[in-house]
Chains A and B, each alone.
Chain A
């Protein structure tokens, strides 16, 4: 696969890519992702991943961070769009709704684009203690 691509692509471009990747991996040694290394190592070890290199762990951490940031950014856009729609309707409630809150509604919309179907039913309560009561009452 690599041999074919090297034939197709000019050699300089491939060298540039290699150099860029090497530099990036080297720069990861100094970069501390928000997701801690230990957490990533823990979950990678659970999945059977086997590599002692810290840079790869950091690469996974950065990739995950980027993924979460992408999802959260999309959700933020949904949130802002919803708020602006609300603002149009009711000017007086502007002060209260100004806060940016990560809600399940926005998140499920954002995650849908990434292939994750999160549907949370309307009657689900937010906190676990609140969620227990209606179920217990039903039974």
Chain B
């Protein structure tokens, strides 16, 4: 029985210890929330003031209470002064706000001239008392040097409506308050909205273009990320892209009526651009020569045309790309007349093209390879086109 009692006592002590630790932890967490450091410094300052008055010792609880009251006094002055400044349509406090705050706080025990409601703040009894105190009291600097508080001393205020010379958007907002940010900064998704608007308007061509662009961007990204991405482009990838498009609520609806088309924008932007140029040129050619099929002069023409096209492309600024893409979208709509011929020609051109422009970088050449590959298994595409 005695053993059991001993055990019980030990366990009880352990529990007590645990509880104590828990409470200390809790207290610590709480204290870290309310700034412990500043309170400790306030305690030292208050202790110094008490010492200067003739106190020899103190109870810890009394010192804590007094320092807490002192801190609350500071905060109350700040709060009252700030509300006074705001009442006077100002952002920053001045001396009179502080004096007003001091008078408010001193009204409990009263000061000379407090009965006169219209007294001037500069001659307030509170200020006179303070001046008297400063003259009388000895100067006790703070005993310790301590690191700087994390107080932003010179805060830059956002300019108010009045300073910017603007009128507040509504009547109930006073002019001294900080200005609202520009409305452009507020709608970050303005572009999304625009797209949504387009979708609502039902402009199929535009939406086509957007789908193409997004897919081309995706493709470009893939090429940038892994070198073989463009070459290893397969129906699986197309399905992935399809899924990506479908997951986007803005882009999904336009794809519903011709889903297979998505496999076409395999090409990166530059390449597709070139391809369209070539095809267009070739199409122009075909108008002339498709019946007769004199191959040699045709290629000559192609060569000249192509040179022109390259020069043209160099002249075209980057911004102009969108219009070209738009052509790509509209071109797709045209029926597939003489497609086999065209494809043959393009294949040849692309091969010749790859050989001719060996000065260009690898990326472009690879892109042309993709083009060739694309043309080889172009049966699907032609059917779609």
List A contacts of B16 (CB < 8 A). Answer: 136
Q: Which of B35, B46, B62 contacts A104 (CB 8 A)?
A: B62
List B contacts of A55 (CB < 8 A). Answer: 95
Interface string of A11-41 (1 = CB under 8 A from B): 0011011101100110110011011101111
Known: A76-B55, A126-B60. A2 touches B120 (CB 8 A): yes
Interface string of B77-106 (1 = CB under 8 A from A): 111011001000001111100100010010
> Could you list some 10 contacts between A and B, CB below 8 A?
A17-B120, A18-B122, A38-B151, A42-B35, A43-B75, A47-B76, A49-B79, A56-B98, A62-B134, A76-B54
A100 on the interface (CB 8 Å rule)?
A: yes
List B contacts of A106 (CB < 8 A). Answer: 62
CA distance A62 to B105 in the complex (A): 14
List B residues 159-216 near A (Cβ within 8 Å). none
B141 on the interface (CB 8 Å rule)?
A: yes
B61 on the interface (CB 8 Å rule)?
A: yes
Q: Which of B57, B66, B70, B122 contacts A99 (CB 8 A)?
A: B57
Q: How far is the CB of A136 from chain B (nearest CB, A)?
A: 5
Q: Establish whether residues B78 and A49, one from each chain, have CB atoms under 8 Å apart when the complex forms.
A: yes
Known: A52-B154, A102-B59, A128-B27. 7 other contacts (CB 8 A): A25-B95, A35-B49, A47-B76, A47-B77, A101-B59, A102-B57, A102-B62
Q: How far is the CB of B75 from chain A (nearest CB, A)?
A: 4
Q: How far is the CB of B341 from chain A (nearest CB, A)?
A: 79
Interface string of A101-115 (1 = CB under 8 A from B): 111101110010111
Q: Which of A8, A120, A139 contacts B118 (CB 8 A)?
A: A8
Residue of A nearest to B76 (CB): A47
CA distance A97 to B294 in the complex (A): 126
B384 on the interface (CB 8 Å rule)?
A: no
Q: Establish whether residues A32 and B65, one from each chain, have CB atoms under 8 Å apart when the complex forms.
A: no
Known: A47-B79, A50-B91, A102-B66. A1 touches B123 (CB 8 A): no
B7 on the interface (CB 8 Å rule)?
A: no
Q: Establish whether residues B61 and A124, one from each chain, have CB atoms under 8 Å apart when the complex forms.
A: yes
Q: Which of A34, A44, A100, A107 contacts B78 (CB 8 A)?
A: A44
* Tally of B interface residues using CB under 8 Å: 80
Q: Which of B45, B63, B94 contacts A39 (CB 8 A)?
A: B45
B357 on the interface (CB 8 Å rule)?
A: no
B48 on the interface (CB 8 Å rule)?
A: yes
List B contacts of A43 (CB < 8 A). Answer: 38, 71, 74-75, 78
Complex interface: stretch among B124-132, B266-274, B345-353, B359-367: B124-132
B238 on the interface (CB 8 Å rule)?
A: no
B259 on the interface (CB 8 Å rule)?
A: no
Residue of A nearest to B123 (CB): A17
CA distance A76 to B9 in the complex (A): 46
A81 on the interface (CB 8 Å rule)?
A: no
Q: Establish whether residues B41 and A39, one from each chain, have CB atoms under 8 Å apart when the complex forms.
A: yes
CA distance A120 to B129 in the complex (A): 31
Q: Establish whether residues A51 and B118, one from each chain, have CB atoms under 8 Å apart when the complex forms.
A: no
A127 on the interface (CB 8 Å rule)?
A: yes
Q: Establish whether residues A107 and B65, one from each chain, have CB atoms under 8 Å apart when the complex forms.
A: yes
Q: Establish whether residues A127 and B41, one from each chain, have CB atoms under 8 Å apart when the complex forms.
A: no
Interface of A, helix, strand, loop or mixed by DSSP: helix
Number of A-B residue pairs at CB separation under 8 A: 233
List B contacts of A63 (CB < 8 A). Answer: 73, 77, 102, 126, 130
B155 on the interface (CB 8 Å rule)?
A: yes
A86 on the interface (CB 8 Å rule)?
A: no
Residue of A nearest to B147 (CB): A38
Q: Which of B19, B70, B79, B130 contacts A68 (CB 8 A)?
A: B70
A59 on the interface (CB 8 Å rule)?
A: yes
A9 on the interface (CB 8 Å rule)?
A: yes
Q: Establish whether residues B75 and A73, one from each chain, have CB atoms under 8 Å apart when the complex forms.
A: no
Q: Establish whether residues B146 and A72, one from each chain, have CB atoms under 8 Å apart when the complex forms.
A: no
CA distance A117 to B222 in the complex (A): 72
Known: A48-B79, A59-B95, A132-B20. A120 touches B61 (CB 8 A): yes
CA distance A9 to B94 in the complex (A): 23
List B contacts of A76 (CB < 8 A). Answer: 53-55
List A contacts of B53 (CB < 8 A). Answer: 69, 72-73, 76
